[in-house]
Amino acid sequence: MLDLKAIRSDPEGVLARLRRRDPTLDLGPILALDEERRELQKRVDDLRRRQNEGSERLASLKGGNPAEREALLAEMKDLAADRKAAEERLAQVEQELEARLLELPNLPHDSVPSGTKEEKIVLRTVGEPPKFDFPPRHHLELARNLGLLDMDRAAKTTGARFPMYVGQGARLELALIRWMLELHAAEHGYTPVLPPYLANRTSFFVSGQLPKFGDELYHCPTDELFLNPTAESLLANLHRDEVLEESQLPLKYAAFTPCFRREAGTYGEEQRGLIRMHQFHKVELFHYTVPERSYAALDELVGHAEAVLTKLGLHYRVSLLTAQDLAYQSAKTIDLEVWLPAQGRYYEVSSCSNCEDFQARRGNIRYRPQAGGKPRFVHTLNGSGVATSRLFAAILEQNQDPQGRVVLPPVLAELLGQEVLGSAGNPR
């Protein structure tokens, strides 16, 4: 949520930044509601003061002139009616104002370029695309032939775009999860977390999924709980309504969860295999830090996610998203995109974002500065460290051999006790 005081103090500057994200955004209704809210608050305060003065006068007239007392009682009745009407309108205006504020996305950082999704900036590429002297196979073909995935039985069990890992595929998926969680804990200083897979409405309000993106969530209405679409939604609430000490910061968490997303619509080639699923696994990284360090923390976060890809020897690129491609809660986002040879294109496997104080304002998450003064809102950052589905696909496609086998990266070969994923066949 944006700071209303900042909007009020510089409406033109805030609007200019917002319109880099969406040229149709308008602050007029918010400013009008804010003005009415402040006028109503003054009126309510004035009516309350006059009521208090009237009560004191009424007490002093006890046993005095009956006519004067009756006139004062009538005046007090009118004041009470006026105050009730003003308070009711004030509550309505405050509700409307909050709803309008919740529609506004975060302000893009000055370093974020203007432009559309297609105009993102490639900051660097790492490694070279693997060269094959044969047509590279799609990861779905490789996985089926090697008995790693059974998408047909998954569809029969649940529906389309839900995976079922089997045999060596299940072992590989679990090895990736365990290895990434240990990597971030042991080498990067994160505290591991295994959070609940469901959360309440308030949690998703704090993280930014609600109220705007409720249609994208799986909802359990009987219990008023939502399935986790990303562990960011859960980790953003770990310190909700807390005042931390500056000496505690930064706090860094790494969480493993399954993730559930409706992903409505059709995406052509992206619907094949593991590219765009309703359910997938992810190790999520999350930072709480002081505002002055948050952009250094973003660079650190990107580096931690990149470590996964470099240790696996994968070819990937790093891209800076433009303002119109930012997530609702993000002020700046850097994506890591792995190369899938069979499709000849890159796919995002990690989005690393600085949300500044946007989520902290919603969750009332503050810290007490060591130098003294009022508590300040923390800055929150999140990034995939990383999502396994597209990582799984990239490992298969970038490491395939002419026989359709997969030569495992050394770190995975050591974990699984085998260097090659060979033919195994699906379960029957």
Is residue 276 part of the annotated active site? The answer reads: yes
What 3-state DSSP class applies to 363? helix
Residue type, 367: Y
Angle between helices 294-311 and 168-186 (to 10 degrees): 140
Q: Any idea which residue has 């986790």 for tokens? A: 228
Is residue 21 part of the annotated active site? The answer reads: no
Tokens of 13: 């500057």
389 burial (CB, 10 Å; 0-12 / 13-18 / 19+) is buried
Is residue 284 part of the annotated active site? The answer reads: no
**How far, in Å, are 15, 128, 397 from residue 347 at the CA level?**
32, 16, 13
What 3-state DSSP class applies to 135? coil
Residue 1, CA atoms < 13 Å, CB-side half-sphere: 20
Return the closest-CA partner of residue 330 out of 353, 313, 298. 353
Bridge partners of residue 350, in order along the sequence: 336
Q: Which residue is catalytic, options 83, 137, 261, 366? A: 261
- CA pair distance 411, 415, nearest whole angstrom: 6
Q: Which residue is catalytic, options 17, 337, 390, 397? A: 390
Is residue 390 part of the annotated active site? The answer reads: yes
Q: Which residue is catalytic, options 87, 96, 263, 348? A: 348
- CA pair distance 131, 340, nearest whole angstrom: 12
Q: Which residue is catalytic, options 37, 83, 161, 276? A: 276
DSSP 216-260: GS-EETTTTEEE-S-THHHHTTTTTT-EEEGGG--EEEEEEEEEE
Residue type, 311: K
Q: Any idea which residue has 């971030």 for tokens? A: 184
Q: Is the dihedral of CA 36, 38, 44, 47 positive or negative?
A: negative
Cβ atoms of 199 and 226 closer than 8 Å: yes
Cβ atoms of 257 and 193 closer than 8 Å: no
Q: Which residue is catalytic, options 351, 353, 384, 389? A: 351
What residues act catalytically? 261, 276, 348, 351, 390
